[in-house]
Structure 1
Amino acid sequence: MQMITIKEVTTIDEIQIIKKLAHEIFHEIYTPIVNPDYVDYFIQKYQTADTIQTQIKKEHFRYFLLQFNDQNTGYLGVQLVKEKLILSKLYVLQSFRGLKIGKLALEYVYQLASAHRIPTIELMVNQQNKNSLAIYLKNGFQIIDSIVTFSPNGDSSEEYKMQKSI
């Protein structure tokens, strides 16, 4: 029987797993659509073990490992900010996509928002990430803004800010 589980990250070892997954998944997804230097910059800025630990301890983030038959297959990161829940990260290894892991993780995000009485979920998605964009639109998210972000070396990424009321 195939089983998907979502496990909250609470230890340094689990943070190291997230860091390793981030490196692999970000290159799978983003290297084909943005400059690889920007991908490396993003990982170094937001997905090091120290950064993840700081996000959890000081910035109201919660991270979760997504597991398929006890194998770490991806991760989820959310941030609780005032009247909204920010879906910061939802990534699944390419070899595990299509198994409903992301769908279950998204449902979990809705449950988290409901449990905290938060009426709005917000996220950012790269405009070139057509698969993720389609999934979010299919699940009732609406594009509310278009944003360009820059790395220190001048590389840029065009993203949509999306929102869903629950």
Structure 2
Amino acid sequence: MIEIKRADKKTEFKVIEKLANEILHEVYDPIIPAEHTDYFLMEFQSENAIEDQIKNENFSYFLLNFNTKNVGYLGIQKLNKKLILSKLYILESFRGLKIGKTALEYVNGFATDNGIEKIELIVNQQNQNTIDIYLKKGFKIVESIVNSFPNGHSVEDYKMEKVLKME
């Protein structure tokens, strides 16, 4: 059984941090330097970063559970009529079990319930499997961008969006 549970306690942020440390290295180390993955984890997916994003940047985080085991997480940011799908990560051994599909359906429902007009996300251009999933779910590539970070690394990404209402 797949469950999506809002994460709002420090102990849950720590679980997400632990999941992120495992998942991000397996996803990104083949396409970006591992030290950039470490930087990304510390700056954006550590327990403290998650707590700060929730308190100060209108983020919500959710744990993804499969048969009561924490197997992934979801992070979204509400900005007026736009929802940023910031993070959707699932442990490799649990991919293909419709957890990501369920999470995307949850995001769509959240967006609809909150008057959101479009959902946006950023995906690394080398992450073709993920790009294909989002395309299949109604997202479109709207822009090719280079994201540069204070640690000196840069990555080539796509901005993707799914329009829910005509603007």
Runs of 4+ in 1 over 6 A off after TM superposition: none
In structure 2, what is the equivalent of residue 59 of structure 1?
A: 57
The one-letter code matched in structure 2 to 1:160 is Y
Larger deviation, residues 140-149 vs 99-108: 140-149
In structure 2, what is the equivalent of residue 16 of structure 1?
A: 14
Q: Number of residue pairs matched?
A: 164
In structure 2, what is the equivalent of residue 124 of structure 1?
A: 122
String of CA shifts for 1:48-79, please: whole Å, max 9, x gaps: 11110011111110000000000000000000
1:48-127 equivalences under 5 Å are 48-127=46-125
Q: Which residues of structure 1 form unaligned runs of 5+?
A: none
Q: Normalized against structure 2, the TM-score is what?
A: 0.96
| CA drift at 1:17 | 0.2
Matched residues in 2 for 1:117 and 1:149: separation?
A: 29
Matched residues in 1 for 2:41 and 2:8: separation?
A: 20
| CA drift at 1:153 | 4.0
Q: Helix, strand or coil for the counterpart of 2:88?
A: strand
Kept after mapping to 1: 8 A contact 2:61/2:76:
yes
Kept after mapping to 1: 8 A contact 2:39/2:151:
no
The one-letter code matched in structure 1 to 2:66 is F
Aligned counterpart in structure 2 of residue 32 of structure 1, from 30, 43, 49: 30
| CA drift at 1:82 | 1.2
Q: Normalized against structure 1, the TM-score is what?
A: 0.96
